[in-house]
Structure 1
């Protein structure tokens, strides 16, 4: 029976990492949620090398942060527009005014050392469905390993709204839609910003130009009818 969102996501996280380590006797784990693809393995290698070079580190991840400034800029309330102006002034000075949820770690994509201590930490996590899983992971890592245990991914900071769906610097695509035709459009979805790039899975794969393509990849790239691809799934963000 499907579990609620947060507890179900935690169960998948614990089960998938445990299964990977047990099956492959892995030294490292790369965790990607089902709708998230990394299309350049050199990105993974680069962060594996960073983790390997730092004996204190255990996990490489971005936060799950959100930038309020775009919302403030477009608000009809003078106070919020003033906050946007203040953010533009203080951020070049090193202040992250208007950035929320910085004390979090993205469970959508991370790379970690599969040490016994890290796996024990993962297996000890508990959550209620109103919890913020990304905050729970951050708190657990901080408590067990300290800030030195975290290797950040600044290419994606802050995640929301600019890099929620695409972060080209990480070759990361986290979109639910088989193609751009299935993706929401700014004229019908008010949550979208003009910078959102909702190109879909087909376009993401096409842009990667892989030399080797398996049968399922070719089917997605070449099929005239994409209703077969997760056809009953919700397409909203």
Structure 2
């Protein structure tokens, strides 16, 4: 199996593919100021297996275009939506977030939790802006520094893995420079990382390794995830996901 196939196999069984929670998805939705309405048009970009998609569908009762480039994740979302009685609201779209098959001004709300880093925060919000109606809402979570001064170890890790990491003030300036008006911001607490993501993921490592005959490639993936968790536990006061909510300027 390729590394990507191994990663999909590891993650598709998890409730969440990254830090977050239904409660914090709903908090961001509250800050977005949208009420349930069947004529709302919503896209969840980089939705993975759909934890945020399902929370939005349950809250808004409107069609949601659930976008991911991995069909296996969308298949898992479809199964979960059916089990929750929400399938009627979910429109799966297999697409790369850098080349989306949507019309200009199509959406009232564009959502993306923990995924915009794939194309970079500034590139993402600039690219997706045209898909929003004037006054439409963007809600994204993005890795964010919580302090100005950081230990060298964690600075080096994120500089290598995502040079676009910045403080909230830096991200808010980018939003404004790209024609958005920020309307809300908060950071995800440690429970969203440990209880919702890292610990459930770690609980599946042994089964994952067994499925792949304890291969070197599978072992490498597990060790990388363990290292990432250890770094978070050591430096959780230095960074988290920030949730940014903003309106497209008219």
Q: What is the TM-score with the length of structure 1 in the denominator?
A: 0.33
Q: What is the TM-score with the length of structure 2 in the denominator?
A: 0.32
Structure with max Cα Rg: 1
